[in-house]
Amino acid sequence: MKRKFAVLLILFLSIGGLMMAEEGMFLPNELTPALMAKMHKMGLQLGAEDIWRQGGPSLSQAVVNLMGGTGSFVSPNGLIVTNHHVAFGAVQRQSALKGVDLIRNGFLAGSLKEEIPAPGYKAYVLLTVKDVTSEVYKGTKKKMDPLKKYERIEKNTKKIIKKHEKPGYRCEVKGFYGGEKYYLFTYLELKDIRIVYVPPRAIGNYGGDIDNWMWPRHTGDFSFLRAYVGPDGKPAEYSPKNVPYKPMVYLKVSARDIDPGDFMFILGYPGRTQRYMPSFYAEFMEKEYYPGRIKFLQGWINILEEGSRKSKMAMFKNAGILKGLNNAIKNWKGQLDGFRKLDIVNRKKEKEAQLLKAIEENPELKAKYGDVFPKYRELFEEWKKVMKKSLYAGWFAYGSRLLSAAITIDYWTRERMKKKDIDRKPGYMDRDRENLLLRLKLVDASFEPWTDRQVLKYFIKEQARLPEEYRLKGLVKLLNNDFSDKNIEAFLDRLYKNTVLTKREERIKLFNSPYEKVIKSGDPFIEFAAALIPELDEIEKESKRLSGKALDVTPKYFALWRRVFGSDFMYPDANSTLRLTYGTVKGYSPRDAVYYLPQTTLKGVMEKETGKDPFIVPVKLKELYQKKDFSFYADPDFRDVAVDFLTTHDTTGGNSGSPVLNARGELVGLLFDGNLESVVSDYFFYPPITRSISVDSRYVLFITDKFQGAERILKEMEIVK
């Protein structure tokens, strides 16, 4: 029997200092006996093979990579649950393409036939992981030109992928511990993903950007998608004839009680961390990287917001990019604040001092690793210059939809014509054709003429403010080194009045044309792209050279780290591969005299309501609350519906939508965020304040059932009480 909440709270506060956040994003195929023993001691009731089994079935095959987010199968019929903000791109594109406001109103399919495509979405199911380190390094030597070393590794990687990849599957090779180890990941590629249920924005994004990265939270950040395959059961492009995919494993959904101290683990696809970076790298991020990006991004956001006010269609078109940028800038501000408050640079120096001391005290370590830090610093000074130029050039390849399309067309047609498939730039091989074509088709869902032009103008003006060495020479030449408003406007007039890239059929036509025809097309955006690409190639070439040079330093750095600090609980930085992290339900103290409890309820949703976006509570939800119509979804301690909860898990971007699993492997929540105080954990993990935020599975079920009446979705799932 559960204890009363008051008793739990007293006990929880008294032992809170003993329950620290658990650091580590572990590869499921590398779960050590020590790690498993620790999780078992905390309450885990599963074995390592229940979590990961090569080829399956295991819980890992129930978790899918959604290309930037995570989801999980929760029915035998391919039903996927993920975050509202992970599925947002699908409803944004459908809204923009059809002119129907699914963003505000949400969407519910009444039957399988009514489920609509999620444009641009694919789901990847990890099947096998193979160590290919020796194959990746084949033909390389210790004293080898860095660029040639990188190119050899790149070609080896492409050969490995080409050897193992088959229709319906996707392979990728990823490096770990600075290149010390390489793994080949093989995924089942599900290409037909459809929207099943997305709650209205007033539930799925309650609190909006104001509450983003904050606690307490009261948002129902969830949505349902579905994976389809061809009638033969194999992955296929969208077709009305396709049928729901039958996953080898799906998760049971828990409606059980959750309490502080409960053990939980998460499987997901975290994007990127840089925990092992040296202090001088961290200092650059704090003093130059984040301040510059924040300032730049704010100007971009201002343009998108102004453009979105011009019409509902403009709002639809800009919504996806704007949501992403607002999320990024708040995260970056939190990162910068965390660097300063936690004194990350000096904390890094303290860790380095331990490594240097170990080197000095041990002749063997000194002989083997004595040159690691001097070489790392030398490498960093070279990298810093390339990083700055790459940063400014990269905006052009992303900010303008039309320029981005032109760069894609140029690269694809040039690589296809001039090189054999194995020699092409990664991302532009035959295996990538489908994704590149899809990218061009989706331009219509995010291209808004006024906004696109103003963003491009803003980027050009920002180039004018840069020191000459960081300016794009191709742009300078096109403008005759004249960055006056009059000349920029004339340049933009020529671009936007004479291009054909605003038309989908013309983009596809150029994509399928010979390179000479593309270059001779006379399209001004194609000419613009052609002027920028040589410099983009030079930046990429220099980045490759430095990456090759790093391979003489970083594997040794990680080997030293392992020798000094041990390996039982060592883990590689996140790189969008499947990871396991574990922890407990726990609140935290962000500052003096303040303590945040780890769970919120429907009462808090009502208390936050203002009647204005983003705090508008739907009438029906108010009625359910007033009637206390909670059914078995109510928490026995609160006598209310639990909404969101905090845990000590180690997560980051890409983990959004990850299933939060209890000791039995049942889904108890969906991770959707971290607290603002802890976003700097991408660089330095600080247990006292590092928390992850998830929506309670009971709130997901309550909204789906009582608010939406989506009975057919509930019937598909195996709900445990």
637 annotated active-site? no
**For residues 610 and 604, what is the distance between their CA atoms, to the nearest angstrom?**
12
Check 192, 211, 221, 650 and give the catalytic one: 221
> Which among 133, 159, 189 is the end of a domain?
189
Least confident of 381-390, 492-501, 597-606: 381-390
Q: Answer for the pair 90, 182: CB distance below 8 angstroms, yes or no.
A: no
Q: Answer for the pair 604, 206: CB distance below 8 angstroms, yes or no.
A: no
Do 506 and 460 sit in the same domain of this protein? Answer: yes
Rounded to an integer, the average pLDDT of 615-640 is: 97
- pLDDT tens track for 41-77: 999 999 999 999 999 999 999 999 999 999 999 999 9
> Which among 173, 189, 205 is the end of a domain?
189
Residue 17 belongs to some domain of the structure? yes
Residue 660 belongs to some domain of the structure? yes
Structurally, the chain folds into a number of domains equal to 3
Do 493 and 607 sit in the same domain of this protein? Answer: no
694 annotated active-site? no
Check 72, 400, 446, 656 and give the catalytic one: 656
Q: Angle at CA 80, nearest 5°, toward 76 and 81?
A: 125
> Which among 166, 189, 212 is the end of a domain?
189
85 annotated active-site? yes
Do 337 and 366 sit in the same domain of this protein? Answer: yes
For 111, the domain range is 5-122+192-272+576-720
- pLDDT tens track for 595-615: 999 999 999 999 999 999 999
Closest CA to 303 of 503, 495, 201, 448: 448
Do 309 and 381 sit in the same domain of this protein? Answer: yes
Distances in Å between the Cα of 266 and the Cα atoms of 95, 446, 651, 671, 709 are 32, 33, 9, 8, 29
Do 240 and 314 sit in the same domain of this protein? Answer: no
- pLDDT tens track for 416-442: 999 999 999 999 999 999 999 999 999
77-114: string of b/e by CB count within 10 Å (b at 16+)? bbbbbbbbbbbbbbbbbbbbeeeeebbeebbbbeeeee
Do 598 and 614 sit in the same domain of this protein? Answer: yes
- pLDDT tens track for 658-687: 999 999 999 999 999 999 999 999 999 999
* CATH number of the domain that residue 678 is part of: 2.40.10.120
Residue 617 belongs to some domain of the structure? yes
Residue 560 belongs to some domain of the structure? no
Residue 158 belongs to some domain of the structure? yes
Check 84, 85, 218, 649 and give the catalytic one: 85
Do 589 and 712 sit in the same domain of this protein? Answer: yes
pTM, two decimals, is: 0.95
Tell whether the model's pLDDT for residue 706 goes beyond 90.
yes
Do 288 and 432 sit in the same domain of this protein? Answer: yes
